[in-house]
């Protein structure tokens, strides 16, 4: 009997050793292959070669987190209290097909700022969404900045997310003179950081006929961060760049998924039939000087909760997507394009402005 027990203990010990070696090897592999972007990375540099000048005073933009074409109304998401990661292939094709149709049918919009656009990730059935989005508007200039690259995300255990590569894309009818990726500080330490987004913002510079530049910034700020110091450190990088560009006489617009409510945000009326809940984090009212404008629409939500599939009035909704505009730009219109969260957990946000 004693020999049998010793033999079983030896087998268990060997199994534990094998599991430790496998786990250690996995962590080593992920660590060695970790995506480590530079603090500042120039993606486009046309410099003196750029002979295209922005001649329009009035421009339009749409900002939209497309949720990798996998978070339509039938979906929940494990990281938000739901269970799912990936829709069925049929649903994924429907979601992303409708997203492409929306982009194609709004070809009069000058600038598009998209977040959570995948590059052949497992969660979207290896579809290269970046190339598909670029083709949706023939003749446009698209710039992609990666903010998520991991060989294998092992959660949730019952359906691991697997390989992920994704980021931001800004595209327009106008060729940028420069496009630069700016890294945000990491919000987690090793080994957690290996499996999380490397947050950033993408700055595109467009020369105008007036001699100054239009600066268009696409940002995707950190979610699930309730430490105000960490959020301020992240936003401080963006603030310094925006103030510096405005001081040069340039026009500055930042749009994206900020993952927090804008200052003084409180929806009015029936909120288009949706159920409003304030975000756990809110942009500080003194983040920017008073003459800077927060452009958002308080009549309809830009984001819905993912703890369960979406039904009107059944999910919490709020505003996480909007714009920040410099004082030398006049606001003409800003509105949520309420698509009912049919194909993403975010709604597009339209902006129309005039450069003074």
Which tokens go with 20? 């430790």
User: How crowded is residue 84: how many other Cβ atoms within 10 Å of its Cβ?
Assistant: 16
- pLDDT per residue as tens digits for the range 67-106: 999 999 999 988 788 888 899 999 999 999 999 999 999 9
- pLDDT per residue as tens digits for the range 186-216: 776 676 677 678 899 999 999 998 889 999 9
- pLDDT per residue as tens digits for the range 55-64: 889 999 999 9
* Residue 113 CB partners (closer than 8 Å, separation 6+): 61, 62, 63, 64, 168, 170, 216, 218, 255, 256
How far apart are the C-alpha atoms of 336 and 330, rounded to whole Å?
Answer: 18
In three-state secondary structure terms, 239 is helix
- pLDDT per residue as tens digits for the range 250-306: 999 999 999 999 998 988 778 888 999 988 888 988 899 999 999 999 999 999 999
pLDDT at 51: 64
Please answer whether residues 113 and 218 qualify as being in contact, where contact means their C-beta atoms are separated by less than 8 angstroms: yes
Output 226 or 46, whichever has higher pLDDT.
46
How far apart are the C-alpha atoms of 149 and 208, rounded to whole Å?
Answer: 35
Q: What CATH superfamily is the domain 40-355? A: Endonuclease/exonuclease/phosphatase (3.60.10.10)
Task: Supply the pTM of this predicted model.
Answer: 0.93
CB hemisphere CA count around 310 (13 angstroms): 24
Domain boundaries, the chain: 1-32, 40-355
Q: What is the mean pLDDT of residues 219-243?
A: 85
């Amino acid at each position: 009997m004693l020999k049998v027990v010793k033999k079983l203990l030896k087998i268990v010990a060997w199994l534990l050793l094998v599991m430790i070696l496998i786990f250690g090897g996995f962590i080593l592999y992920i660590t060695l292959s970790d995506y480590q972007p530079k603090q500042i990375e120039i993606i486009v540099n046309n410099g003196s070669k750029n002979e295209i000048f922005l001649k329009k005073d009035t421009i339009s933009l749409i900002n939209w987190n497309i949720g990798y074409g996998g978070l339509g109304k039938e979906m929940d998401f494990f990281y938000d209290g739901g269970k799912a990661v990936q829709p069925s292939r049929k649903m994924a094709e429907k979601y992303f097909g409708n997203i492409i149709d929306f982009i194609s049918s709004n070809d009069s919009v000058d600038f598009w700022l998209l977040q959570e656009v995948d590059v052949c990730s497992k969660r979207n059935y290896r579809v290269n969404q970046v190339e598909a989005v670029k083709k949706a508007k023939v003749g446009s200039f698209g710039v992609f900045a990666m903010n998520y690259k991991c060989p294998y995300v092992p959660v949730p255990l019952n359906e691991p997310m697997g390989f992920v590569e994704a980021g931001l894309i800004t595209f327009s009818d106008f060729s940028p003179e420069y496009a630069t990726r700016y890294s945000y500080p990491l919000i987690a330490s090793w080994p957690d950081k290996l499996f999380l987004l490397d947050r950033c913002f993408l700055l595109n510079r467009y020369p105008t006929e007036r001699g100054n530049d239009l600066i268009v910034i696409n940002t995707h700020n950190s979610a699930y961060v309730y430490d105000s110091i960490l959020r301020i450190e992240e936003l401080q990088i963006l603030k310094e760049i925006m103030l510096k560009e405005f001081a040069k006489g340039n026009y500055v617009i930042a749009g994206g998924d900020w993952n927090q409510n804008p200052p003084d945000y409180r929806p009015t009326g029936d909120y288009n039939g949706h159920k409003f809940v304030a975000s756990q984090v809110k942009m500080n009212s003194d983040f920017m000087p008073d003459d800077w404008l927060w452009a958002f629409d308080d009549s309809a939500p830009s984001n819905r909760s993912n703890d369960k599939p979406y039904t009107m009035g059944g999910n919490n909704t709020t505003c996480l997507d909007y714009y920040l505009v410099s004082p030398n730009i006049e606001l003409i219109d800003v509105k949520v394009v309420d698509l009912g969260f049919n194909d993403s957990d975010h709604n597009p946000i339209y902006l129309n402005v005039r450069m003074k």
